[in-house]
Amino acid sequence: MSPARAFTSSTRPHRVVQWATGAIGRSVIRGVLDRDDMELAGAWVHTPAKAGVDAGVLAGRDPIGVTATGDAGDILDLDADCVIYAPSPAPDRFTELETVCRLLASGKNVISLNGFVYPQAHGPQYVNELEQACKRGGVSVHGSGISGGFMADLMPLMLARLSRRITHVYVREVSDFARHPSWQMVHHMLGFGKNEEAYLRALRPTRNAMRAVFSESLHLVAAGLGVDLDEIDVDVQHRLAGTDLTTAAGPVPRGTVAGARWTFSGLAAGRPVITLEVVHKADAARMGDEWGSPGYSLRVDGRPSLTLATDETWVSDAISAAAAHALNSVPVVCAAEPGIRTCLDLPMARGHMRI
């Protein structure tokens, strides 16, 4: 078989549905339009004004004859192979679970940008509902993206292939929000620009949401290395702006919250074995080096120990990269046996060269 034939397991294009057309969703649609082994079967939108609009136009391209719908029923009724699931995060993971299970039960594989990289992290009830839905639809669910889905889990596991007697895995992710355009994200979700009292009041739901997302990556790394985590400790610290800062999304005045460091420690046999630090800065260039500069730092302690560090230029467009990871996973997910399929279960998803 030629390498090109081996690359696509299917003889006809995969029919892909995009669920939500935010930054990720629009990038996925453009990615589908640029590939001859995929076609867009449909698009679900949350914003009422987008319903009825051509999906190509929503993605900044010419019309393609696929009309976006706000009615989930239209998507459930479609004949399609796979849904790329990328809406704003739901208020709790069981709301997310319900939507994903409906899509699965309707016979569509789901590749999610919102978790599902290791659903086992949420316990047997969660797993059982997903497995039942996969069984009903004869399909699989898989989580993808960059973090989770790549830098916080898949990359450390790749690095760990080069080591033995591994004692600890460490990942640090530092993100700069100076150019992030969304006030919803910068102010409401991260809490930047809030006074300390308001920030601390909102911390409990944020803590639950952050734990839900990143516990999946920690449990995935642990499972990949053959250990069970007993628990995950979560610690969060914040910093106030020492001077007035201006982000693309809006102002972060002096004395309001401008940075946070989340530390997730996966414990086994009473000691941390996997540590993930997630650092958010409102304006990294003006906030100094405390907690590191933007980029990733990965370390596997073992024989030998390995480190891999990047600065913020490691990716020219993180949204495109997260979307591409999901799209490049479509062939292997669609070919998989039905069920929850993590990166530990699937053959390697590969990029797609166009000549």
Ligand X SMILES: NC(=O)c1ccc[n+]([C@@H]2O[C@H](COP(=O)([O-])OP(=O)(O)OC[C@H]3O[C@@H](n4cnc5c(N)ncnc54)[C@H](OP(=O)(O)O)[C@@H]3O)[C@@H](O)[C@H]2O)c1
Residues forming the site for ligand X (CB under 6 A): 20-25, 45-47, 50, 86-89, 113-114, 145-149, 182, 319, 322
Give 20 or 229: the residue with its C-beta nearer to ligand X.
20
CB of 355 to ligand X, least distance (A): 28
Side-chain-side CA neighbours of residue 44 (13 Å): 22
- What lies within 8 Å, CB to CB, of 90 at 6+ separation is 96, 99, 114
**Terminal CA-CA length for the chain:** 19
Exposed, middle or buried by CB within 10 Å (0-12, 13-18, 19+), for 71? exposed
Give 153 or 283: the residue with its C-beta nearer to ligand X.
153
270, 256 contact by CB (below 8 A): no
Give 21 or 265: the residue with its C-beta nearer to ligand X.
21
Give 49 or 353: the residue with its C-beta nearer to ligand X.
49
CB of 210 to ligand X, least distance (A): 11
CB of 95 to ligand X, least distance (A): 9
Give 8 or 328: the residue with its C-beta nearer to ligand X.
328
CB of 11 to ligand X, least distance (A): 31
Give 150 or 302: the residue with its C-beta nearer to ligand X.
150
Q: How far apart are CA 206 and CA 200, in angstroms?
A: 10
Give 146 or 332: the residue with its C-beta nearer to ligand X.
146
| E strands present in the chain | 14-19, 38-44, 82-85, 109-112, 140-143, 164-176, 231-240, 245-247, 250-252, 257-268, 271-281, 295-303, 306-309, 339-340
Q: How far apart are CA 228 and CA 225, in angstroms?
A: 9
CB of 25 to ligand X, least distance (A): 6
CB of 269 to ligand X, least distance (A): 30
Give alpha helix (H) positions in 106-202: 124-137, 154-160, 183, 196-201
CB of 112 to ligand X, least distance (A): 8
Bridge-based pairing state of the strands 271-281 and 257-268: antiparallel
142, 153 contact by CB (below 8 A): no
Q: How far apart are CA 281 and CA 259, in angstroms?
A: 4
- Concatenating the DSSP letter of every residue in 159-177 gives HHTT-EEEEEEEEEEEEE-
Phi-psi region of 292 (alpha: psi -120 to 50; beta: other; left: phi over 0): left
Give 96 or 129: the residue with its C-beta nearer to ligand X.
96
CB of 218 to ligand X, least distance (A): 15
**Which residue has the CB atom at the shortest distance from ligand X?**
22
CB of 97 to ligand X, least distance (A): 14
Give 24 or 282: the residue with its C-beta nearer to ligand X.
24
